[in-house]
Amino acid sequence: MSSGSGSGARSLPAFAAETRPKFTESPNPTFTYGQKVSETDEGKKWLEGVKDGWKTIDAATEDPGKMYAMMISGIVPRPIAFVSSISEQGVENLAPFSWFNQVTHNPPIISVSCSASAQGGLKDTASNIKATKGFTVNIISEPFVENANVTSLDAPAEISEWPLSGLTKEPSMHVKAARVQESAFSMECELFQAVDIIHPNTGKQTATLILGLVKCIHVRNDMLNERGVVDFTKYKPVGRMGDITYARVGDGFRLPRPSWKLEGEKIKEFLKGVEQGQSAP
């Protein structure tokens, strides 16, 4: 399969498989309460773009295809749910969805949004999950992204994507649908709720939001750090950007969440100074 954009294939540098992300300082490690973005060199450069103004898009009148293209280019990076499901007839389906995220950890629930098919009906994944209730969500890593991407093929419902992918079925413990053995992080899920998205103007169903209750997680031991959680530098997860673009994870930086218990008095003093400055003649 060739690489390139929608305008055709073009020459690209080879993928740097050995590149590994590292931890760095945050972009502005000297940040203080109330500091303006313009007070750093990078912030000044970023704000230069404000001079060009904004393009405002009316969602009620914009062409749906253009709205789709704009949203997937702006809501990035998106994690990908590589979903394995099975139909009532026993056909095993495998497909990637980037309208995906965690909803809550207690109970553990994830969400996957499946847009309607080009013909207006349910896509195989949504249809299968509604019918058979069980499915698995597998996270894609760099070494098998092409295997996963090929399953986005708009194949007929009676065709299983598993043979095309070259990936390995691993039996699940709680659901009939297999998990992907090559995935370092897989979740077995049961249907918690299916929400049909009805267009407010046309009355047509345009998508189905699947909420899945996570029954168990399978995570490879070599992906875990000393704290027992996933190390993203080993994990090599990929995400979706706009058009046909995927992305790898770059360097990470750690930013602690402020604590009122530790910072409350300092924040009060800062806010007091702001109030005094505003009330000064």
Residues in Cβ contact with 14 at an 8 Å cutoff, skipping those fewer than 6 apart = none
What pLDDT is recorded for position 15? 93
What pLDDT is recorded for position 128? 96
CA distance 223 to 231: 6
Give this prediction's pTM. Answer: 0.91
pLDDT, one tens digit for every residue, the chain (281 residues) = 444 444 445 789 999 998 889 999 999 999 999 999 999 999 999 999 999 999 999 999 999 999 999 999 999 999 999 999 999 999 999 999 999 999 999 999 999 999 988 777 788 999 999 999 999 999 999 999 999 999 999 999 899 999 999 999 999 999 999 999 999 999 999 999 999 999 999 999 999 999 999 999 999 999 999 999 999 999 999 999 999 999 999 999 999 999 999 999 999 999 999 988 887 77
Query: How many other CB atoms sit within 10 Å of the CB of residue 180?
Result: 26
What pLDDT is recorded for position 218? 98
CA distance 196 to 258: 38
